[in-house]
Amino acid sequence: MVLSYATAYGTGNTASGINFVITEAAAIGQRTFPIFGTLFLLAAGIMLVQTQLGVMDSTSRIMAENWALRRGKTGNVNLSKIYGTFLLAQIAFGCLLFALGIHKPKNLIVAGAVMNAVAMFVHIGLVSWLNYRTLPKPYQPKIWRRVVIGAIFIFFGAFSAIVLKDLF
């Protein structure tokens, strides 16, 4: 943020999205040496790619482990195949979004927030149900925690319902 402020604030340039990063790199190149602007873009690109790869890896790994734990009771599982399937599903979903014309950063952030809210709604509901069905009484959450979890569950449920209602 400090670098953005130092390079782009007050220039009258209102670029947004990736154009802002390009404008910032140009400002860095003008104030120092042109190679530094190019290096800034290279570093920013590498960081963005690495962040995305890390997110896709960790989410695929988590989903694969959960799937394997669920299926593990019935036989052997090949964790690497399950991981690859979830990874390819995420890549296919990303390609589908771009094919549908959903590629603006703001739209992607909103779509991600909505999906996360729905996922949290389902997650909190399932974990709560699991806690009350499988944990012995001494290990179950106290009443005040149940109230807080219930309020959070209702919040995510209401948010998800409002967004889904607006979509349809």
Distances (CA, A) of 118 to 38, 56, 83, 86, 163: 40, 19, 22, 19, 10
* Number of C-beta neighbours around residue 149 at 10 A: 16
pLDDT on residue 42? 95
Higher pLDDT, 118 or 4: 118
> Once rounded to an integer, what is the mean pLDDT over residues 42-55?
91
> Once rounded to an integer, what is the mean pLDDT over residues 130-140?
85
pLDDT on residue 74? 53
Chain-wide mean pLDDT for the chain?
84
pLDDT band at 137 (very low <50, low <70, confident <90, very high): confident
Q: Is there a contact between 38 and 27 (Cβ–Cβ < 8 Å)?
A: no
Check pLDDT > 80 for residue 157. Answer: yes
Check pLDDT > 90 for residue 135. Answer: no
Per-residue model confidence as pLDDT tens digits over 100-132: 888 777 777 777 788 888 888 888 988 888 888
Check pLDDT > 90 for residue 85. Answer: yes
Higher pLDDT, 84 or 75: 84
pLDDT on residue 123? 86
Residues 6+ apart with CB under 8 A from 156: 117, 118, 120, 121, 124
Check pLDDT > 80 for residue 18. Answer: no
Q: How far apart are the first and last CA of the chain?
A: 38
Check pLDDT > 80 for residue 27. Answer: yes
Q: Measure the CA–CA gap between 57 and 87, rounded to whole angstroms.
A: 7
